[in-house]
Amino acid sequence: MKIIATTSDKALPQLIQEAKDLAQVLAVPYVPRNKLSLESIREVHKAEQILVVTKKNIQLVMSQGVYFFHIGMAKLRIKSLCEGKYDHMASAMDLAPGYRVLDCTLGLGTDAIVASYLTGAAGHVTGLEASAVVAEIVRRGLRSYEEADQEIVQAMRRIEVIAGDYLQYLKSMPAKSFDVVYFDPMFRRPVKESSGIAPLRMLANHAPVSSTAITEAIRVAKKKVVFKEAVYSHEFARLGFQHFCGGKYSSVMYGYIDPEEGA
């Protein structure tokens, strides 16, 4: 998949530098915009995906659509939680201030933002993402996205993003180094109404979670290993999840394992 990086039209030197820096981090070519249309750039450089650094955000332009970082549903979910409403993920994780959370499947960062808000300044959320491009767009988005509610802004800023594979990372970590380890893999059968995840489909790692990864997660977690999938997915039984949150009125469900009990 050939990816190149450029800027929006009439970019100031600071944006050009950011695009060059992004290109270097991702080891992809930087192409000066030179007043060309993205279509011309795509043709000249035979690029399938173009990273466009704009004043507002970084956009990944693909034939299937444009992907850029956005707070998404996180803000609504945080607002609901503040009103005392129930959030299945937060309940499955049993989150409390000060908790250390490992989000093995960061994706667009929505769940990580909610977790970071709930664990607060004393807590810590680390997000792992297999796609280097997604990780970099989300890392920069979390760092710069502006939002009126400063507590949400701080929650975004605190998230640590690591580009890499969760199995390798889990294997490298000491036992009980996080309170909660969380998996939200690409579902085996996509849930149709989940349009928020649509731009990820082209970029994401679609491999199923292995039992080895769950065994490692049980070793690394102190309190909970949480796994999200489509409601009544066979993945829960395959991976040994026996406790559940959600599902009754929802198309998704959260399975969890208490590491003291094991799978």
Ligand X SMILES: C[S@@+](CC[C@H](N)C(=O)[O-])C[C@H]1O[C@@H](n2cnc3c(N)ncnc32)[C@H](O)[C@@H]1O
Binding site for ligand X (CB under 6 A): 104-105, 107-111, 128-131, 134, 165-167, 184-186, 197, 200, 204-205, 207
The DSSP H or E segment spanning 163 is: strand 160-163
Residues with Cβ within 8 Å of 120's Cβ and at least 6 positions away in sequence, in order, are 97, 98
Rank residues 46 and 192 by Cβ distance to ligand X and give the closer one: 192
Rank residues 96 and 200 by Cβ distance to ligand X and give the closer one: 200
Is residue 236 a contact partner of residue 217, using CB atoms and an 8 Å limit?
no
Q: How far is CA 226 from the centre of its chain?
A: 15
- Please, what is the minimum distance in Å from the beta carbon of residue 94 to ligand X? 18
At 135, list the tokens.
Answer: 């990780």
Strand order of the sheet with strand 3-7? 3-7, 49-53, 58-62, 65-68
Rg (C-alpha) for the chain, rounded Å, is: 19
Q: How far is CA 4 from CA 19, 45, 80, 93, in A?
A: 10, 8, 40, 39
Rank residues 104 and 253 by Cβ distance to ligand X and give the closer one: 104
Rank residues 179 and 229 by Cβ distance to ligand X and give the closer one: 229
- Please, what is the minimum distance in Å from the beta carbon of residue 25 to ligand X? 17
- Please, what is the minimum distance in Å from the beta carbon of residue 163 to ligand X? 8
Please identify the residue of the shown chain whose CB is closest to the bound ligand X.
Answer: 107
- Please, what is the minimum distance in Å from the beta carbon of residue 29 to ligand X? 23
Rank residues 144 and 168 by Cβ distance to ligand X and give the closer one: 168
- Please, what is the minimum distance in Å from the beta carbon of residue 89 to ligand X? 9
